[in-house]
């Protein structure tokens, strides 16, 4: 099938999904972009209007269309609160794919999404070769968030405060794991995600400690590719499909009950997007995905909903901690009470709620790379709410949110640590 035919078919399929939008504007109260800019074109309703005329607009000015569609965090706030049940996230992902097909991808994105991220061995080798040189570029800031800055790359990265790369990635220190289930009678395939493998290895290690404590069998590969979410968000269906097929080949022949991740974006990708955007894959992959997708579950939900971990008393420890709701965790997966229960399992912490806990932090994955000025405004508001809570620690269930929170707190010189909820729970367990 040629590209023009594919585009025509994609546009027709998109029309069917757009019909449900009543243009009521209810999304105004929930869209973080609109609440930041107050521009109608940044509102979900405005983008829907753009997509309705996509065929004409894409011919008139494809770059402008691409820019408008990129001004969305894909947080799912509008979809979770839409009275008409419009699948806005699906619509915007499909529209981005149409525009990317029409415009073509940049050489950098092609290299990242079609060569590096689908090939973890190649990606790992590249990181290993470049590791000795990172100290020439990165400057350690000695802040509670363990961030670094890059003065030499300021024209490209600005004043970003970034988490350090792990001294060694998880796949190098842990390798392949395949342990039998214990008293829990449960076995999981652990999918740490890119950030859990290469940056927040402490989060992944906390997950492994929890699995061991609860006698949960674990399958862990040292050759996982990215879940595909970055490619999908950029409209690169080809790169997305390559990553999905690589991971499915690893997961499909193993025996386990759940696919567990500490990253809500990975969970949503595996549980929802692998199946929704696998039309072009061979039938054997589609069948395997349909069997795998229902097994995907967030680590917080596994512990609370499956293992029934729950606090017996209200913890009132010395360390105040507040909780930030990850958009994908709460709005897409419906996981909100569970992370709070895990925090309360640690008697050393006292959970205090921040204002607007469920408001987007402004990361949005690649959104913070392309629209850092807007990401910064959203992140500063989140930082202000964290500080107003009086907390010494801010916890969340998403590594990408951890990166954004660390950046915002570090740039304000705030003495607040950033932790994953599973780290706080794991701290309460015996060694």
Let me know if residue 72 belongs to a domain: yes
Full residue range of the structural domain in which residue 346 is found: 310-428
d(CA 210, CA 214): 6
pLDDT of residue 10: 67
200 to each of 87, 181, 221, 413, how far by Cα in Å? 32, 26, 17, 21
CA angle 400, 160, 406 (to 5 degrees): 45
Let me know if residue 38 belongs to a domain: yes
Let me know if residue 289 belongs to a domain: no
d(CA 257, CA 184): 11
Q: Which residues in 213-243 are b (16+ Cβ under 10 Å) and which e? A: ebebbbbbbbebbbbbbbbbbbbbbbbbbbb
Sheet holding 139-140, edge to edge: 139-140, 147-149, 162-163
- DSSP element (H, E) containing 407: helix 399-411
Strands 177-178 and 217-220: antiparallel
- Among the candidates 103, 128, 145, a domain finishes at 103
d(CA 12, CA 52): 10
Let me know if residue 239 belongs to a domain: no
Handedness of CA 241, 245, 246, 252 (dihedral sign): positive
Residue 121, SS3?
Answer: helix
The separation between the first and the last C-alpha atoms of the chain, rounded to the nearest angstrom, is 57
d(CA 24, CA 44): 11
pLDDT of residue 397: 96
List the beta bridge partners of residue 124.
none
Query: Residues 123, 248: contact at Cβ < 8 Å?
Result: no
Let me know if residue 201 belongs to a domain: no
pLDDT in tens, the chain (431 residues): 455 556 556 666 677 778 788 888 889 989 999 999 999 988 988 888 888 877 778 778 888 888 998 999 999 999 999 998 888 998 899 889 888 988 899 999 999 999 999 999 999 888 888 777 777 788 888 889 989 988 777 777 778 899 988 889 999 999 999 999 999 999 999 999 999 999 999 999 999 999 999 999 999 999 999 999 999 999 999 999 999 999 999 999 999 999 999 999 999 999 999 999 998 999 999 999 999 999 999 999 999 999 999 887 776 789 999 999 999 999 999 999 999 999 999 999 999 999 999 999 999 888 998 899 999 999 999 999 999 999 999 999 999 999 999 999 999 999 999 999 999 999 999 97
d(CA 116, CA 166): 19
Let me know if residue 264 belongs to a domain: no
pLDDT of residue 323: 98
DSSP state of 111: H
CA angle 71, 75, 77 (to 5 degrees): 110
d(CA 81, CA 86): 9
d(CA 183, CA 298): 21
- Among the candidates 84, 103, 122, a domain finishes at 103
Let me know if residue 236 belongs to a domain: no
Query: Residues 222, 124: contact at Cβ < 8 Å?
Result: no
- Among the candidates 56, 75, 103, a domain finishes at 103
CB atoms within 10 A of CB 45: 22
pLDDT of residue 1: 47
CATH code: domain of residue 86: 1.10.1060.10
Strands 162-163 and 147-149: antiparallel
Let me know if residue 263 belongs to a domain: no
CATH code: domain of residue 356: 3.40.50.11810
> How many folded domains does the chain comprise?
2
Find all residues with CB under 8 Å of 158, minimum gap 6, and list them: 372
44 to each of 6, 41, 87, how far by Cα in Å? 25, 8, 11
Strand (E) positions, 46-195? 139-140, 147-149, 162-163, 177-178, 187-190
DSSP H stretches of helix in 252-398: 264-268, 274-276, 283-292, 299-301, 327, 337-344, 367-370, 372-388
């Amino acid at each position: 099938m040629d590209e023009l035919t594919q585009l025509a078919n994609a546009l027709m399929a998109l029309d069917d999904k757009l019909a449900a939008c009543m243009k009521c504007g209810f999304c105004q109260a929930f869209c973080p972009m609109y609440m930041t800019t107050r521009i109608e074109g940044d509102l979900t309703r405005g983008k829907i209007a753009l997509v309705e005329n996509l065929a004409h607009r894409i011919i008139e000015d494809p770059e402008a269309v691409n820019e408008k569609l990129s001004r969305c965090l894909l947080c799912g706030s509008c979809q979770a609160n839409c009275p008409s049940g419009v699948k806005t996230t699906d619509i915007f992902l499909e529209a981005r794919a149409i525009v990317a097909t029409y415009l073509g991808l940049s050489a950098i994105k092609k290299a990242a999404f079609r060569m590096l991220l689908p090939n973890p061995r190649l990606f790992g080798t590249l990181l290993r070769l470049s590791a000795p040189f990172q100290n020439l570029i990165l400057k350690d800031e000695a802040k509670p968030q363990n961030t670094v800055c890059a003065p030499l790359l300021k024209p490209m990265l600005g004043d970003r405060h970034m988490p350090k790369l792990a001294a060694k990635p998880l796949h190098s220190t842990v390798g392949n794991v395949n342990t039998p289930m214990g008293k829990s009678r449960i076995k999981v395939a652990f999918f740490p995600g890119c950030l859990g493998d290469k940056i927040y290895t402490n989060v992944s290690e906390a997950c492994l400690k929890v699995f061991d404590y609860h006698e949960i069998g674990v399958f862990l590969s040292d050759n996982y590719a990215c879940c595909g979410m970055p490619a999908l968000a950029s409209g690169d269906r080809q790169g997305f499909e390559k990553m999905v097929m690589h991971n499915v080949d690893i997961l499909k022949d193993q025996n386990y009950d759940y696919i567990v991740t500490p990253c809500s974006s990975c969970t949503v990708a595996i549980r929802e997007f692998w199946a929704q955007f696998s039309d072009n894959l061979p039938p054997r992959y589609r069948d395997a995905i349909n069997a795998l997708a229902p097994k995907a579950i967030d680590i917080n939900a596994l512990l609370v909903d499956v293992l029934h971990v729950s606090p017996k008393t209200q913890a009132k420890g010395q360390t105040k901690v507040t909780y930030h709701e990850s958009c994908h965790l709460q709005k897409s997966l419906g996981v909100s009470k569970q992370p709070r229960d895990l925090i309360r399992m640690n008697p050393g912490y006292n959970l205090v709620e921040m204002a607007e806990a469920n408001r987007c932090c402004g990361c949005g994955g690649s959104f913070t790379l392309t629209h850092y000025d807007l990401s910064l405004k959203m992140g500063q508001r989140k930082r202000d709410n964290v500080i107003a809570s009086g907390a010494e620690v801010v916890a969340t269930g998403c590594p990408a949110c951890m990166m954004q929170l660390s950046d915002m707190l570090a740039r304000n010189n705030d003495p607040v640590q950033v932790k994953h909820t599973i780290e706080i729970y794991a701290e309460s367990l015996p060694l």
